[in-house]
Amino acid sequence: MSEYPPATSIGAAIKQNRPFGGIEHQVYLALQRAAADLTQQAATLLRPFGLSGAQYNVLRILRGAGAEGLACGEIAERLLTRDPDMTRLLDRMQRQGLVTRERDSQDRRVVTTRITEQAREILSRLDEPMAALHRRQLGHIDAARLRELATLLDAVVAGPHPEPPESPESPEPRGSPTLAQPA
């Protein structure tokens, strides 16, 4: 395995003074840092509107879905970042007047969520500032390199996504008694 020197932007940002374990590790860390930085900047823009990143994402999904709306599971599948409790997120959004939810008359298990006019207005007010933020975030990179980056990120998203390796068993602490196994 070849090692890559920390003399990179990510190496400097995290004050890495040893070589990375490989280019994959370096790229992983750079992606994590870039995502965190970009997400934080977007969160700062959303904060005055009382929205989290997840709520903003849900509203954009619902705006795109149109008048038909979407079921909770369909929204969850489209989210950029998985929310462990989609129902609770939608409950909060409903209390804020951002979404409406209606139980299907044919199948009571299905609840359709729709964006409200109030939320559409908020998104409308956010469209240009968010586009301007993205231009500030990525405008220093020329269009050809951005297309190349988009292609590379598509390859990352497409996988393969192997199962995580099993965690190595942790050794028993020294001097700790072992439990007897039942006979």
Cβ count near 121 (within 10 Å) = 10
Type of residue at 139: G
CA 5 to chain centre: 29
Where are the chain's structural domains?
A: 1-49, 51-141
What are the residue ranges of helices labelled H in 47-182? 53-65, 72-78, 86-95, 117-138, 143-158
Distance of alpha carbon 16 from alpha carbon 123, whole angstroms: 40
User: What's the first-to-final CA gap in the chain, in angstroms?
Assistant: 47
H/E stretch holding 43: helix 23-46
* Percentage of the residues of the chain whose pLDDT score is greater than 90: 62
Query: 8-50 pLDDT, tens per residue?
Result: 677 777 777 777 788 898 899 889 999 999 999 999 999 999 9
pTM, 2 dp:
0.78
96 and 50 Cβ atoms separated by less than 8 Å: yes
The CATH code that applies to domain 51-141 is 1.10.10.10
Q: In what order do the strands lie in the sheet with 70-71?
A: 70-71, 111-115, 99-103
What 3-state class would DSSP assign to 71?
strand
Type of residue at 150: A
Q: What is the mean pLDDT of the chain?
A: 87
